Amino acid sequence: MEAMRVTYRMHVAPPEAEQRAEAIALEQTVEVPRVVVRDAFIEDEVMGRVERVEGDPAGGSLATIDYPVAATALDPCQLVNVIFGNSSLHDDVECVDVEFPASILAALRGPRFGLEGLRKELGVLGRPLTCTAVKPMGQSPKELADLFRTFARAGIDVIKDDHGLAEHPFCPFDERVRACLAAADQVADETGHRALYAPNLNGTPETIFRQLRFAEDAGARAVLVSPMLVGLPVFWELCQRRASIPVLAHPAFAGAQRIAPEVVFGRLFRLFGADAVIYVNFGSRFSYSRETCRTIADRLLEPMGGVLPSLPVPAGGILVEGVTEVLDFYGRDAMLLVGGNLQVEADALFERSRAFVEAVRGYA
Amino acid sequence: MEAMRVTYRMHVAPPEAEQRAEAIALEQTVEVPRVVVRDAFIEDEVMGRVERVEGDPAGGSLATIDYPVAATALDPCQLVNVIFGNSSLHDDVECVDVEFPASILAALRGPRFGLEGLRKELGVLGRPLTCTAVKPMGQSPKELADLFRTFARAGIDVIKDDHGLAEHPFCPFDERVRACLAAADQVADETGHRALYAPNLNGTPETIFRQLRFAEDAGARAVLVSPMLVGLPVFWELCQRRASIPVLAHPAFAGAQRIAPEVVFGRLFRLFGADAVIYVNFGSRFSYSRETCRTIADRLLEPMGGVLPSLPVPAGGILVEGVTEVLDFYGRDAMLLVGGNLQVEADALFERSRAFVEAVRGYA
């Protein structure tokens, strides 16, 4: 029987831990007391099985549970349900790791372009990449396109919408996309550098699938989506069934999960199809440690069956002045996202953007 | 300016609290440092504004922030983003309350049937309601229909799929729906009692919208969905744009949020359109307090502009023997969901189901 292996940290003492792990194995599959399971097929092919329970040096206990692949129905929604559906309702249980067997990798498929596909699209092979965002929310399409033009002239590789840009009456999606793509064309004509624009898809499925089609038809070469805001199953359908261009994943609403960031960003987003994964960097206004960031980046890049690597995109308060430290940490296979910090001096937007680009391009 | 008021608990000491609250107000809207906001329109109509910061007797501080409605674009996805998108990535911030202004209530709309619509559909006016689930996952459509028949004969009002029933090859959705609806018809012919069957929609948008249509065409009178698994925006589109029958909400994957359960179940699920809201009861294998459960039930029922009340459905380890205590707590306007406990004795399924029904029907 092929199994998906999930590890939970349980904030209970070892004496109770065995029993608690058994309870999780039931909760996540059959969701009935053990005595109710009277069928050999269900016992063997559906019910979770506790593989190991051990004390965690960090406190509490770690339980490793094998779930038969059949329980997941190889469906993106049911997969998340089996990993952490009802157990998310237990205050003292966290999901800290997941290992996917080959059948799940083959069914969910992961990135269509990934790190290498994005590099090819950008024509940038041997160095780290640069990224910023047009914002703040509240600006008109014209104002955002003006910002875009400045960032593009400075040579930034990828310019995305802020993840908060939605279908606002003061900045409708279609107008914004047209204006920013026109700005990209204009700068390409002037300088030869064509920045890749990733508009943000935000709304219900009806809305975002329409936005995707509009963006593709208008010539966009990537889009941005927040998987936890739109829903992981929507994200999967978007990547695997709808989009013909790369998809960048944004972390909004994702940190609220009592699933480790290493699992959400390092495993789930990649498996579901993100070609690039934005996550909050160490030393930022967010609280991720260096170790967490290292693990996320490693997991996005490491071999995973036939699944392509995703591009790691550290973000969240990186300063232009701090770029070299971040590059030292990640090396070449990363795209640095510097947002608001490029805009802190109203008159020095181009200069700060250019300094960011040069710091990255000049990185040995 | 109409505003949506959100309250956060910040685990920081009062001296830092003011600054931290200002940071959240920016993070959730413009997402740039304050100096970057140089436009009066953005300041007045887009940017969050700190209304109040105070020490929390429970520790830390409470910040109340007003967000201009314009920032939400009146869109279900962007609304969640403004409430708790990036701030979900801060370990020391929780979202503990949200108040919606009239324009958001009018745009999002809430339940289409609600408590009274469900009562009318069931023909049950003056008493609490009963609910159970066909499970465990792994049974065939025929086996689930046999279970259904027994529950229906015992007189249970609502019989739902377990939320883990997906598009499993051993139990395809269409067959399961046909079999359970046929069982409902058969028992209605025999006894005059027609149990309401709510099949579980589980998958990507493509899958669940197809499942919904199949269920409606087959004669189902309600469906079950897990909003946090499928994605809140999908849930909204399903309720408001797709479904012609009531929708019951299941809490799977919802407890992982660092949003208070009172907000997720009491406010968001109702606003988004759940006609009935399942949540985990106090004293169960989950850890919600009596106070939390009281607040959830109150919020589902209390006046909320023109938005209909939703039916509270406490669940998660209610025992047949404990029904009266739960009824004493909730009174008449609740539906009790007893799941696995009906099945603990293989030969007493009907008897335990009947005892559950009689305890509820006999409740004064």
ipTM value for the complex: 0.81
Which residues in B lie closer than 8 A to residue A45 (C-beta atoms)?
138, 170
CB-based contacts of A335, cutoff 8 Å, min separation 6: A118, A128, A129, A130, A131, A157, A158, A276, A311, A312, A313
- Give the tokens for residue B260: 């208070």
Sheet containing strand B247-249, edge to edge, reads B223-225, B247-249, B276-280, B311-315
B308 pLDDT higher than 80: yes
Do residues B345 and B150 make contact, with C-beta atoms less than 8 angstroms apart?
no
Q: What is the pLDDT of residue B66?
A: 97
Q: How far apart are CA B54 and CA B135, in angstroms?
A: 48
Which residues in A lie closer than 8 A to residue B28 (C-beta atoms)?
164
How wide is the angle at C-alpha B209 spanned by C-alphas B207 and B210, nearest 5°? 65
A108 pLDDT higher than 60: yes
Do residues B74 and B19 make contact, with C-beta atoms less than 8 angstroms apart?
no
Which residues in B lie closer than 8 A to residue A81 (C-beta atoms)?
163-164, 166, 202, 226, 229, 252-253
Using a CB–CB cutoff of 8 Å, tell me whether A45 touches chain B: yes
Rg for chain A, CA atoms, rounded = 22
Which residues in B lie closer than 8 A to residue A236 (C-beta atoms)?
204
pLDDT tens profile B126-149: 888 898 999 988 899 999 999 999
Q: How far apart are CA A288 and CA B309, in angstroms?
A: 40
Do residues B278 and B251 make contact, with C-beta atoms less than 8 angstroms apart?
yes
State whether B136 and A340 contact (CB < 8 Å): no
Among A227, A223, A283, A292, smallest CA distance to A253 is for A227
| Residues present in chain A in total | 364
Torsion of CA B304, B310, B315, B319, to 10 degrees: 110
A183-210 average pLDDT score: 96
In one letter, which amino acid is A255? G
Question: What are the φ/ψ torsions at residue B91 (nearest 5 degrees)?
Answer: -60, -25
Largest pairwise CA distance in chain B: 73
- Find where tokens 């997991």 sit: A299
Identity of the highest mean pLDDT range in A137-141, A177-181, B231-235: A177-181
Do residues A214 and A174 make contact, with C-beta atoms less than 8 angstroms apart?
yes
How does the average pLDDT of chain A come out, rounded? 89
A256 pLDDT higher than 60: no
CB-based contacts of A339, cutoff 8 Å, min separation 6: A132, A133, A135, A162, A315, B31, B32
In one letter, which amino acid is A188? A
How wide is the angle at C-alpha A192 spanned by C-alphas A190 and A193, nearest 5°? 105
Name the A residues in 207-236 with CB < 8 Å from any B CB.
Answer: 207-208, 226, 229-234, 236
Q: What is the pLDDT of residue B159?
A: 94
In one letter, which amino acid is A277? V
Name the B residues in 171-200 with CB < 8 Å from any A CB.
Answer: none
Q: How many helices (H) and strands (E) does chain B have?
A: 16, 12
Taking CA atoms, A323 is separated from A99, A248, A350, A353, in Å, by 33, 21, 17, 12
Preferred mutation among A11, A31, A293 to probe B, highest tally of B CBs within 10 A: A31
pLDDT tens profile A290-302: 999 999 999 999 9
Which residues in A lie closer than 8 A to residue B41 (C-beta atoms)?
138, 170
A17-23 average pLDDT score: 94
Identity of the highest mean pLDDT range in A261-275, B192-206, B286-300, B304-318: B192-206
Cβ of A351: how many Cβ atoms within 10 Å?
A: 13
B353-364 average pLDDT score: 89
Among B104, B123, B131, smallest CA distance to B270 is for B104
How does the average pLDDT of chain B come out, rounded? 89
Distance of CA B156 to the CA centre of its chain: 21
Which residues in B lie closer than 8 A to residue A208 (C-beta atoms)?
77
The string of DSSP letters for B205-230 reads HHHHHHHHHHHHHHT-S-EEE-HHHH
Residue among A30, A89, A344 whose CB faces B286 most closely: A89
State whether A70 and B258 contact (CB < 8 Å): no
Q: How far apart are CA A154 and CA B127, in angstroms?
A: 69
Identity of the highest mean pLDDT range in A175-184, B79-88, B160-169: A175-184
Using a CB–CB cutoff of 8 Å, tell me whether A139 touches chain B: yes
Using a CB–CB cutoff of 8 Å, tell me whether B349 touches chain A: no
Directed axis angle between helix A141-154 and helix A349-361, to 10°? 40
Cβ of A50: how many Cβ atoms within 10 Å?
A: 19
Q: How far apart are CA A43 and CA A26, in angstroms?
A: 10
B165 pLDDT higher than 60: yes
Please list the helix, strand and coil fractions of chain B in percent, rounded to the nearest 5, in that order. 45, 20, 35
In one letter, which amino acid is A209? F
Do residues A360 and A127 make contact, with C-beta atoms less than 8 angstroms apart?
yes
Q: How far apart are CA A334 and CA A277, in angstroms?
A: 10
Q: How far apart are CA B2 and CA B72, in angstroms?
A: 11
State whether A85 and B136 contact (CB < 8 Å): no
Beta bridge partners of B224: B200, B248
State whether A231 and B236 contact (CB < 8 Å): no
Q: How far apart are CA B300 and CA B187, in angstroms?
A: 32
pLDDT tens profile B326-346: 999 999 889 898 988 888 888
pLDDT tens profile B218-275: 999 999 988 888 998 999 999 899 999 998 888 777 765 556 678 778 887 778 777 8
Q: How far apart are CA A66 and CA B317, in angstroms?
A: 24
Which ranges of chain B would DSSP assign to H, the alpha helix?
14-27, 40-45, 69-72, 76-84, 102-108, 114-122, 141-153, 173-191, 205-218, 227-230, 232-237, 261-263, 269-272, 290-301, 323-330, 349-361
Do residues B28 and B128 make contact, with C-beta atoms less than 8 angstroms apart?
no
Largest pairwise CA distance in chain A: 73
Region label for B298, one of left (φ > 0), alpha (ψ between -120 and 50) or beta (otherwise): alpha
Name the B residues in 53-72 with CB < 8 Å from any A CB.
Answer: 70-71
pLDDT tens profile A149-169: 999 999 999 999 998 899 989
| Confidence at B96, pLDDT banded by 50, 70, 90 | confident
* Chain B closest-CA separation from residue A7 CA (Å): 16
The DSSP 8-state label assigned to residue A306 in this structure reads B
Q: How many helices (H) and strands (E) does chain A have?
A: 16, 12
Sheet containing strand A311-315, edge to edge, reads A223-225, A247-249, A276-280, A311-315
Q: Minimum mean pLDDT among B95-99, B254-258, B345-349: which range? A: B254-258
* Chain B closest-CA separation from residue A161 CA (Å): 12
Residue among B39, B45, B80 whose CB faces A229 most closely: B80
- Find where tokens 């939390």 sit: B292
Q: How far apart are CA B42 and CA B49, in angstroms?
A: 12
* Percent of chain B residues past pLDDT 70, beyond the cut: 98
pLDDT tens profile A48-98: 999 999 998 888 999 999 999 999 999 988 888 888 888 877 778 888 888
| Confidence at B51, pLDDT banded by 50, 70, 90 | very high
A118 pLDDT higher than 90: no
Which residues in A lie closer than 8 A to residue B80 (C-beta atoms)?
229, 253
Q: What is the pLDDT of residue B255?
A: 63
